[in-house]
Amino acid sequence: MHIPDIIIAIDGYSSTGKSSFARLIADEFDFLYLDSGALYRGVTLYAMENGMISPDKEIDVPALETAMETLDLHFAGSGSHSVTYMGERCVEKDIRTLAVSGLVSPIAAVPQVRAYVDRRLRELGSRKRVVLDGRDIGTTVFPDAELKIFMVADLDVRAMRRASEMQSKGENVSFDEVMKNLEERDYIDSHRKASPLAKAEDAIVLDNSRMTLQDQMEWIRKIISERFNPSTSAKSC
Ligand code: DC
């Protein structure tokens, strides 16, 4: 299916499957996938490893702000196969641990961190033909994105998916821990002052609690063909 040079913005709650969906979209339409959460996770990992977060989660914002002037977080690889790098180091695995997940929401609430990530995303997304996922892509980072999707799913479904994903990667986590982490992140993400998680007015809601990835792909193909390729969606009579 032909699809013009557009930006696809996918926002929504943690563990609604945004990145799996965005990666499949990137593959199908030959778009570049940008994982904004990975950049917040990268900043969090950097802050943790450099003693910028105290045990009671106090963040040394001035030190972090200085470090971000030269912090080189980027993606390498193409299409959906992009992985996250900090300078020369591949941090794709290190940024997905429960330790990072437990600290990423307070880091993502720091306005200077949001400014850093927004700048990186706009640089990387300026070429169009990108699909991005996050919490504020359609509201703040790319408010003019041509297609905006807001993903939701029941909390227990999200916790179950996330726990099995982490367990399959060898992380020793319980369903209850994951559920608690998700609840905390939902609260912080949607109540923070700077760019809280919110549905853009023109976003289409996708509740995938009872949908497979294939169901979701069928759903988006239909939307894309109706919006951007009406000739292929016209029914013959
Ligand atoms: O999508 P994720 O779970 O990898 O995101 C990690 C955290 O980053 C999440 O708790 C909220 C934050 N985030 C954000 O505030 N804004 C974004 N655009 C993307 C992620």
How far from the centroid of its chain's Cα atoms is residue 183's Cα?
17
Mean pLDDT score across all residues of the chain: 92
Residue type, 38: A
Helix or strand (DSSP H, E) at 127:
none
Give the separation between CA 115 and CA 205, rounded to whole angstroms.
Answer: 26
Task: Copy the structure tokens of residue 4.
Answer: 């013009």
Q: Which residue has the tokens 């988006």?
A: 220
What are the backbone angles phi and psi of residue 170, rounded to the nearest 5°?
90, 10
CATH code for the part of the protein at 7-225: 3.40.50.300
- Of ligand 1's listed atoms, the one at least distance from the Cα of 18 is 1
Whose C-alpha lies nearest to ligand 1, atom 16? Answer: 135
- Of ligand 1's listed atoms, the one at least distance from the Cα of 137 is 18
Read off the pLDDT of residues 71-128 as tens digits, 9 standing for 90 and up: 999 999 877 788 999 999 999 999 999 899 889 989 999 999 999 999 999 998 887 8
Q: Which residue has the tokens 């032909």?
A: 2
pTM of the model: 0.88
Give the separation between CA 44 and CA 53, rounded to whole angstroms.
Answer: 9
Domain edges within the chain: 7-225
Whether residue 83 contacts residue 75, with contact meaning beta carbons closer than 8 Å, is answered with: yes
| Beta carbon of 17 within 6 Å of any ligand 1 atom | no
| Beta carbon of 142 within 6 Å of any ligand 1 atom | no
Helix or strand (DSSP H, E) at 134:
strand 130-134
Residue type, 28: E
Which stretches in the chain have pLDDT values below 70?
230-237
pLDDT at 195: 84
Give how far Cα 31 sits from Cα of 2, 65, 80, 130, 147, Å.
Answer: 12, 32, 8, 5, 13
Give how far Cα 13 sits from Cα of 66, 87, 136, 151, Å.
Answer: 30, 29, 11, 7
